[in-house]
Amino acid sequence: MQKQVDGYRPDKYPERSKWRRNVVMSQMVKYGFLDKSAYDTLHPKDIILDFKAQDHLSGQAQYLREEVKKDLLALGREYGFDLYADGIRVYTTVDSRMQQYAERAVDSTKRQVQRNFTNSLKKDDGTLREPWIDKNGRVIRDFIENGLTRSSRYRGLVKTYGKDSDSVDFYMNKAIPMQIFSWKGDIDTLMSPLDSIKYYKQFLHSGFMAANPHTGEIKAWVGGINFKHFKFDHVRHGKRQPGSLFKPLVYSKAVEVGWSPCDKFQDVATTVNIKGYEPWTPKNSDNTGYTGETLHLKTALAKSVNSISAQVIQKVKPDNAVSMVKRLGVQSKILPFPSMVLGTQDVSLLEVVGA
């Protein structure tokens, strides 16, 4: 049956497909589903196609689709089904309009941010300095070399020639045809694998996620700036310090043990003593010092007052706060240090939004 259907594919067999279409339309005329005048107008016309086969590099939400595929393949191994052969239909909660807006927002914003970043790298002579520098402005030694050893091409060469072979260095520095990403479109060029690593290390990346806070349904997911060239997903796998986004997770523990949003705290320097470490006295983020003002707990959270957050973690205890964070779905390792309340430990965007 499949072979017979394929025999009328208009992209492969246009004349045969046109003939079959006209047979169907003539039957529609015969049984009163189509006017004879409409048939006479339509039957001479060729079939015009706007056909594009969909693959994993096209369409919306490519990063999310890839992550869903990984999860389903794992479930298939566990429960004994074949994702590709068992006729399974997969539905997600993504809103196609929100996803479109999200992808547009990431694209337009990252173009501008990348432009600003690149301009900041320009030296007086118009060339670009290396972006991989430490806090003192010095180029980080072995930065590119470390990135090189993680590349699939390097690992393949090492497997073929051995780690200490001159051939590895030769082929990593040999210019070859390749297509590279740019914000103005893909570029076909000659470039060595080593230079391509240097080139790609200059791009900034981001992740975007939107979810329904009442149900947890994911409505939009943008894992990076270009799935074709950058497969790493920054929603699920890219981890960064969340900063003050983490405070509500710790404050929730305070509310759970009986604190009221209306409890009062004073914005004053707060020192937390940590066994085996230097005492910790966090500053407020605006660097204006401490106001001495008395604030309700909810106001302190709304204004993100670090001094009061230090008092909260001191009373709640870091171990208890970590337990709460884990219950809220954060799977990354969180060490029970008081500074966790300020979001100093790396988590993913998916974890923060989910929590």
DSSP string, 166-220: HHHHHHHSS-EEEEE--TT--EEEEE-HHHHHHHHTT-----EEEE-TTT--EEE
* Domain assignment of residue 151, yes or no: no
Mean pLDDT of the region 205-210:
96
Share of the chain above pLDDT 90, in %: 80
Measure the CA–CA gap between 32 and 26, rounded to whole angstroms. Answer: 10
* Domain assignment of residue 268, yes or no: yes
Give the up-direction half-sphere exposure of residue 11: CA atoms within 13 A in the CB hemisphere.
Answer: 6
* Domain assignment of residue 86, yes or no: no
Measure the CA–CA gap between 42 and 124, rounded to whole angstroms. Answer: 67
The residue among 317, 244, 323, 322 whose CA lies nearest residue 284 is: 244
Q: What separation in angstroms does the CA of 159 have from each of 155, 162, 170, 259, 331? A: 6, 6, 15, 59, 34
Measure the CA–CA gap between 19 and 46, rounded to whole angstroms. Answer: 10
* Domain assignment of residue 245, yes or no: yes
Predicted structure pTM score: 0.79
102-138: pLDDT as tens digits: 999 999 999 999 999 999 999 889 888 899 998 888 9
* Domain assignment of residue 263, yes or no: yes
Measure the CA–CA gap between 178 and 192, rounded to whole angstroms. Answer: 9
pLDDT at 220: 98
- Look at residue 1 and tell me whether its pLDDT is greater than 70: no
* Domain assignment of residue 230, yes or no: no
**More confident call, 55 vs 45:** 45
Contacts of 46 (CB under 8 A, 6+ apart): 14, 18
Structurally, the chain folds into a number of domains equal to 2
Angle (CA) 248 251 254, round 5°: 160
* Domain assignment of residue 326, yes or no: yes
Contacts of 48 (CB under 8 A, 6+ apart): none
Q: What is the CATH number of the domain that holds 326?
A: 3.40.710.10
* Domain assignment of residue 339, yes or no: yes
Share of the chain above pLDDT 70, in %: 98
**More confident call, 99 vs 5:** 99
283-307: burial string, b at 16+ Cβ within 10 Å, e else: ebeeeeebeeeebebebbbebbbbb
Mean pLDDT of the region 20-40:
95
Taking a C-beta distance cutoff of 8 angstroms, is the pair 218, 280 a contact?
Answer: no
In which band, very low, low, confident or very high, does the pLDDT at 289 lie, cut at 50, 70 and 90? confident
Domain range for 315 is 239-354
pLDDT at 286: 73
